[in-house]
Amino acid sequence: AELELIKIVEDESLPEAKKIKLRSVQENIDTRVAVQGWIHRLRIQKGFAFITLRDGSGYIQAVLTGDLAKAKSTQELTLESTVIIKGVINKLPEGKTAPGGVELKADFYKIVGLAPGGEEAFSNKVQEKADPSLLLDQRHLALRGETLSAVMKVRASLLKAVRRVYDEEGFTEVTPPCMVQTQVEGGSTLFKMDYYGEEAFLTQSSQLYLETCLPSLGDVYCIQESFRAEKSHTRRHLSEYTHIESEMGFLEFDDMLAHIEKLITKTVQYVLEDPVSGPLIKQLNPDFVPPSMPFRRMEYIHALDWLNEHGIPNEDGEKFKFGDDIAEAAERKMTDAIGEPILLIRFPVEIKSFYMQKCSDDPRVTESVDVLMPNVGEITGGSMRTYDHDELVAAMKREKLDIDAYYWFIDQRKYGTCPHGGYGLGTERILAWLCDRFTVRDCSLYPRFTGRCKP
Ligand code: 4AD
C-alpha cells in the first residue's frame, strides 16, 4: 500500500531531454535524452528495474532505481507496453553488457500504452517454440521479435542495394501492371480474377512488359510482386513474392551471364557494407561466404552426369536422362555438395518456357540459366528471348496460347526486333540464402502460400 503513494514526477531542474531515436544512441553518450518505444525485455528486482526498450531503429537498456523502481506502476509494467523514458546515456563499465555497450540511467518515465499481462500477455501469444502455423496467425506480433525484424531490415537493405547496382549500370526502373491478361510461366500456376466481367490474372512475371520497354527506355528493371498458384507446399515457394526482374537489349547470352553474376556479387557486397544490415547478417548467418566472380558455369547435360555419378535419382527414382526436370531435392543436393554459386545453363526446350531462344549450336537446348545457391537452390531464372517473329509465334501456338491476347508482345518482333534477354530474382530466396533461413516464409513480411492469406 505504501508503494502506491509514490508519484512519478519529472524533476524540472534537470537539463531538457533531447528526443532521439535509438539508432543514434552512440552520438548521445553523456546526454540527457528522451527515448520512446516498446518494452522488449523486462526484469524487475528489489530496488532495480531493467527495461530493454525497442523503437524499431535500435535497442537500449534503461535502469530504474530508487522511487522510480519502487513505484506501483513500475512493478506492474508488462512486455510490449509503450513508454517514454528520460535520463542520461552512460557508457557501461568494463565487464557489463547491454545493447551498444551503454545504459540509460532513467530519471523519469511515462506509460503511453500499457499492454496486458496474465493470460493475454505478449509472451503467451508469441512463443518461440510454438507451432509455426500459430506463429503465422500472430505474424503481426511475431514481427516484433529480433530475428524476424532483423531479416526485414536486411530485406530493405537488399532492395536498396539492388536499386543502387541497377542505377550504376544505367538501368531505368519501371512499374508494370499486376493485373494482366497474359501468362508467362504456364497456365497451371495462374491466379484468375474477374476484371469487370473479363477474365484477368495476377501477374506471374513482368517479363513481357519489360520487353516492351527496351525500345523506349533501353535496359530496364522492376521490383514488383509476382503471383503463383503453386500447388506444392515447399520451403521455397510462396503464392506472392517480390520479383526483381530485368531486361536488356542487344546483348549475347554470355554478356547476360556476366551481368547476372555482377549484379548478385555487388548487391551482396553493398548489403554487407551497410552499417545496419552488415552486422545483422553476421548475427543471422555467421558463416556466410560472399560470392566471388566468376561463378561456376555448368551445363544442364553435365549436371545430369554429376547427379548420375553421385547416385542422386530423378523424380521417378531412376537415373537422369536428357529432358528430365531437375527437381528441388536433387538440385539442392547437388548445389550443397558443390558448395558455391552455380550458373546452370542450356536447359532443354521441352522443360522451359515458350519464349526462350534456342542455342545456335544445338537446337535441343535453350540459352537459359538458373542461378543456384547453397542451402536454397534456385534464386534466379533467366534466358535470352526468341526474337524472330515467326519462330516465336510458332512456339506460342505449340503452347496453345491465345495469340490475339499477346498482340502487343508479338509487335516487339515486328517493329524492330533485337537479340535480348533478362531474368527474375526471387527476393525471398536471396534473403533465405543471405540470412540462412530454413524457408522463404521467414523472409516475407506477411507470407502467402497454400492455405494462408492472413493476417
Ligand atoms: O524461373 P521463374 O519462373 O522465371 C520467370 O518468371 C521469368 N519470366 C523471369 C524473367 O526472365 N524475367 O522465376 C524467377 C525467380 C525464381 O528463380 C525464383 O527465385 C523466384 O522467381 N520464384 C519464386 N519465389 C518464391 N515463390 C515462388 N512460388 C516462386 N516462383 C519463382
**Tens digit of each residue's pLDDT (9 = 90 or more) over 175-217:** 999 999 999 999 999 999 999 999 999 999 999 999 999 999 9
Location of C-alpha cell 555497450:
101
- pLDDT for the residue numbered 1: 45
Residues lining ligand 1, Cβ inside 6 A: 184-185, 205, 207, 228, 230, 237-238, 241, 243, 245, 378-382, 422-426, 428-429, 440
What is the arithmetic mean of pLDDT over 261-268? 98
Mean pLDDT value across the chain: 96
Centre of ligand 1 from the C-alpha of residue 454, in Å: 23
Radius of gyration of the chain (CA): 27
What ligand 1 atom has the least distance to the C-alpha of 430? 19
Centre of ligand 1 from the C-alpha of residue 380, in Å: 7
Most distant CA pair in the chain, distance: 90
ipTM at complex level: 0.99
Cα dist. 5→32, 67, 114, 121, 232 in Å?
A: 27, 10, 20, 26, 61
Give CA–CA dist 391/124, Å, rounded.
Answer: 61
Residue whose CA is at the smallest distance from ligand 1 atom 2? 381
What is the arithmetic mean of pLDDT over 377-394? 98
- Half-sphere exposure for 222 (CA within 13 Å, toward CB): 22
**How is residue 318 written as a grid cell?**
531412376
Contact 51, 75 (CB under 8 A): no
Centre of ligand 1 from the C-alpha of residue 427, in Å: 10
- pLDDT for the residue numbered 428: 98
**Tens digit of each residue's pLDDT (9 = 90 or more) over 357-366:** 999 999 999 9
**How is residue 311 written as a grid cell?**
547416385
Location of C-alpha cell 516492351:
212
Contact 262, 374 (CB under 8 A): no
3-state secondary structure of 441: helix
Give CA–CA dist 145/150, Å, rounded.
Answer: 8
Domains of the chain: 3-120 (2.40.50.140), 139-443 (3.30.930.10)
Beta-carbon contacts of 2 under 8 Å, excluding residues fewer than 6 positions away, are none
Cα dist. 59→80, 98, 117, 269 in Å?
A: 13, 9, 22, 26
**Reported pTM:** 0.96
CA 350, chain centre distance (Å)? 31
Give CA–CA dist 257/164, Å, rounded.
Answer: 19
Residue 232: pLDDT band (50, 70, 90) is confident
- pLDDT for the residue numbered 66: 94
Question: Which residue, among 172, 8, 30, has the nearest Cα to 76 in the 3D structure?
Answer: 8
